[in-house]
Amino acid sequence: MQRSPLMRPNAITRGISSLDIEDMCSKATTDEQRIAISKYALRILDRHNTCSLLLTSHKYHLTKLRDGCLRFISERGEEVLTGPAFRALNEDAVAIILTAGTGLASYVDEMIILDALVGWAEHHLNQRGLPSDSNHVSSVLSSLLYKVELPHLKAPLSPRRRSNSLEDPILLSLLIGEYELNYHCNEKAFVPFME
């Protein structure tokens, strides 16, 4: 007995996008329908659609889908944070990822998290036609930096320049310096970043 192409495991998942999931959620009239949509969305979760499905889960109050997306981001943070889908998120969605208690810094190098935030800020500045210099990037990130949970961040650090992300080599120092003001360090003495 041959199975139809639609019955093969990945045939359906390739044909349904995260926009289709959002459309289904908007048309769902019962909790049972929303739960079924959430379960399906969790099965097709990948690095390309996680961010948009997280937004959908937030918009339609789909707790299980939100938790699954955040768990996926925690486990595969570097893949998600360095992809274009992360840069396309709005500030509220980035704040959700940073503050949801996902333990992101336990799985992803802190410099990658900061670099992803810089890339996100630069993307949004470019969309508005603003320069992506250190002052503008710091301004955009000022409302997000205090939400970042970076338990392993220690000073002094040497800023690493990543691919086209840092226009100004001092930018990362500025960001960490601003973050340092809001960071509650577990150590007794926190060494100042700038000597």
Q: What percent of the chain has pLDDT over 70?
A: 61
Of 102, 123, 152, the last residue of a domain is 102
Say what angle helices 50-59 and 31-43 make with each other, to 10 degrees: 170
Q: Residue 93's domain spans which residues?
A: 16-102
Same-domain status, 121 and 147? yes
Q: 116 and 149, same structural domain?
A: yes
| Residues 47 and 113 grouped into a single domain | no
pTM score: 0.63
Answer yes or no: do 118 and 68 share one domain: no
Which residue in 185, 29, 57 sits closest to 40, CA to CA?
57
Q: What is the pLDDT of residues 108-132, one digit of tens each?
A: 777 788 888 888 998 989 998 988 8
Terminal alpha carbon distance of the chain: 73
Confidence class for position 50, pLDDT limits 50, 70, 90: confident
Where does a domain end: 102, 119, 150? 102
With respect to residue 115, please indicate whether it lies within any of the assigned structural domains: yes
Domain tally for the chain?
2
The predicted-structure confidence for 20-35, as pLDDT tens digits, reads as follows 777 777 777 788 888 8
